[in-house]
Structure 1
Amino acid sequence: GQPKGVMIEQGSVGNLVDALYERVYSRYDQPLHIAWLSAFVFDASVKQIFASLLLGHTLHVVSRDVSLSGEHLIAYYRTHRIDLSDGTPAHLHILNESVNVTEAPDVKHYLIGGEALSVQLVQGFLHKWSGYRPVITNVYGPTEATVDATAYTIEDVESLNVLLEKGEHTVSIGTPIANKAVYILNTRQQLVPIGIAGELYIGGAGIARGYLNLPELTAEKFIPNPFASAPLEVEQAPNAHSNLMYRTGDLARWLPDGSIEYLGRIDHQVKIRGYRIELGEVEAQLLTVDGIQKAVVTAWENEDGHKDLCAYIVASESLSLPELRNALQPKLPDYMIPTYVVQLDRFPLTPNGKIDRKALPAPEARLEGGLEYVAPRTPLEAKLAQIWQEVLKLSSVGVTDSFFDVGGHSLRATTLVAKIHQELDSRITLREVFQHFTIEQQAQLIATHGTDTYTVIPAATKQSYYPVSSAQKRLYILSHLEGGDLSYNMPGVLTVEGPLQADRLEEAFRQLVARHETLRTSFEMVDGEVVQRVYDQVEFVVERLQASESEAEVYIES
């Protein structure tokens, strides 16, 4: 669609930099190396550029090819000693999908924003590399409020476990950053109680003047702030528009701890892979295609947690997906072209005559037609087809189908590259997937590349003891010099309600100890050197204490 010019003042950017210093950068005493991953047209680039340079840090400009490959991105982080990286949840997903990478990225702090951050995604990331425990700050905010308005920091695995115990699916967007005020209001623009969902409004410093040359839209989205004199508001906001608040269109609610839970969009605007998309714009362009009489577009979430655009159409003739893509490409960017298209005879309706979006069928198959199906002709094409089906969650693909016409995008291309290396012992690059986007072309490419064997870490030969790493030696010496035997222990408490079969619990732990050598490893001195010794068997017993309910609390606290 047509871009909206958002009029942001210099002072608002200054306030953003100050707020980021307070929440993030003040943690670190020395200059940092910061990775700039986003496109310069994405509002996140404002904080990446100005916060890093104005606060005296070093900004590293990462190429798009590197940012889309987990292996290359991790290598970049380590080569350039990156301390802080700012990206979307997709970047964590890319790092999670990296294969054959044994060394952690070594980044100290991640700023993540752009769309809802899945608790499961963070959990997988924090457990991918043993002992790697970066800080993750989840930020939220629209361009209209100068990039970020709230922030929530996951300090360690324990704070993530708290979210898991509460049954949270997405990470909280936190609390307002410096000089920002957040209000959650009902349809009458009245404050709602804690726990009640409402529309999120943002006031205070950083609110834009409005949209350039769009007075009607400005008046609709930037409205007078009736709470400006309330204690929630700053006494003297640094810009002239602190008497306004911005209506985000986001659904949210206050949590009892004072943080905010993001619940999605109120209207039909969605975020997919960091892009904010008005579904109505896609529907309007579909209706310009010859033969289409009605169109509805939704964001369909796949079993792997990724969202894709799905278009439902009623048309006077049968349409193929390639034809539809060709018709839409001059009018819409690629990320706004539907991945799925379902052609229906009629739309399901609610009792009051409106389209019943909840009753629309799942897009089990993409629109038929277009290119004729061509089955695999060689063992290599057959294996590639199987890999494509796993990555794209399809029952079948033809060797002349385009990867990007049948549901592929940059994240899935990253997964495809990893699987090809792992299962075919051949390495192709992400760039080559974009240039050779059919199974037929990729099979020819692999044949010319030859083999590049996928190797796993071999098991060490059996020894009486093994050398330790520098980090292990340091911890061993510190624990003896300073008497900090328990300093690096990570205690945790799990409350189980109902009958507990203690014997089975103990046996489960014994099986874990038997399976994992790490749990049977001790650190000892041999000939004046610290070594690690792996025992074949170790004793393990769960200590049991009988206590009343009040006494149990004392034991837990101690």
Structure 2
Amino acid sequence: MTCFAVATSDSTEAHARLREIFAAFEGDSRPAYCVAGAELSFAVLFDHARALGQRLHEQTSGGRHKPVLIHGHKDIRYPVAYWACLLAGRTLIPVEPETPASRIKQIAETCGASTLLIAAPGGTDLSGVLSSTSLAMVPVPDPLGPIPEGLRDASQTDVIKDQDLAYLMFSSGTLGQPKGIGITYANLVDFIDWLDVLYPENIEMTGVSGVIRHCFDVSLFELWMSWTRRLPLVALDHADFANSTAYINRLAEQGTSLWVSTPSITRLFLTNRRFNAGQLPKLRNFVFCGEVLTKKIVTALFERFPGCRITNTYGPTECTVAVTSVDITEQHLQADQDLPIGAARPGTGLEVAALADDLPGGELLIRGASVGAGYVGLPEKTKAAFPEAGLYRTGDRACLAKDGLWYFAGRIDREVKIQGVRINLNDVETHLRNLPGVEDAVVEPQMLRGVPHALSAYVLGVRALADLQHLPATLAAELPPYLVPRYWYADFPAGLNQNSKFDRARLANAAADARLRHIHMPSSVAKIAQEEPA
């Protein structure tokens, strides 16, 4: 087992801030966490989280630096487990039920976890695969059951220092060693305080959406906007994603005013015509993170929710959810460049490191209070990505424009060489997204015997073959021939990964399942084909 660094600071202000937020739950009968058919009030959350937190404290006494896995999805037990870990000072690790048991074992061994909290009805039998570990499997009691007796003061716990880890987020990939990203209590509180800057008290808030999986750190926007303002969070079980109308009705019942989402989730909801201000009159604020926000999504939201506020943010998990923000305006929509990701949040600084190419911008570097503690058990990866304390190398390309805002230009490692020509896949995707009828697009290299030989375009929004065939011709008017994809696919199931983003890992299936396909032959290639003997 690999242990991670403990606190280097004696300050305990961050944990005191969390306890202050939690103390306000006591006696508050308003709904805190709403699922289909059940509601958890802040008062019940307070009582049950205290009880479970005390149990964690007693069970792992003497091993206070051992993390706790929370195994669950959208269930009223989940916030109880979350707060129990925070109160007891146990680093929490969200794990989705779809995660294979063998990977849960790998995660537990990587970070030396002591306990697995099962935040699901009826529990989950993982004893077979996890029998060789020292994990204690603890079902979270039903919060709607009797309130535990003999509660002790929640403040009776170990001293929790600012630089202790509040949570670990593990990368969602399924191959190789899982990469656990450590975020401290100081990092977390810095994020929470930033929410007060984004949404000060003079902005009316009545409820928060809950569409993001808890294993994805964007869900912290939802959780902490709910907890700091004691607003109902309306959770959506991803098994019910297809029934968007039922969820829209639940949002309306709770008077939800804040929508937190990836662009991919919102794109799915926009296919439902009931996702509008008429059905959701309180919904006035939208926050996006995790993916590139397109002008088409913003335009659609401005039409459906006139006068709404749309905030675009950017940030890697390594830097506590997000580090920039900007409210999108009509001027941004009319500009030639893509939408900005905004300005740095207080306490965080951004800069770029030059790259060995002639493209605009450079590698984005992040400094300040948002920068996390590194990767658990991976010292070499930590050293490469966090070359010094409080500094993170993102691997993303960005630039600071004359308007004082930052613009994201994609991953640096998304460059390929095809027939001797270096191609930036991000650049091709950007041009594709701006074409009429295209809601979003992904461009990947087509491999031949392990070598890239052409580009493939996977297009969302196109539903007619003639429209798909028209796209490469339109793109060829803007780009040189070698940047126009050869293979085109559309009208395929657009699945989401566990981070609620478009699942690029399933593109091979998308090519096979696409109802619309087209092969674009550049004029030079077509001419050679015509001249070759049959």
Q: For the superposition of Structure 1 and Structure 2, which TM-score range results when normalised by the shorter chain?
A: 0.3 to 0.5
* TM-score normalised by structure 1 residue count: 0.46
Q: Say which structure, 1 or 2, has more relative contact order (CA 8 Å, 6+ apart).
A: 2
Larger Cα-atom Rg: 1
Specify which structure has the higher proportion of strand: 2
* TM-score normalised by structure 2 residue count: 0.47
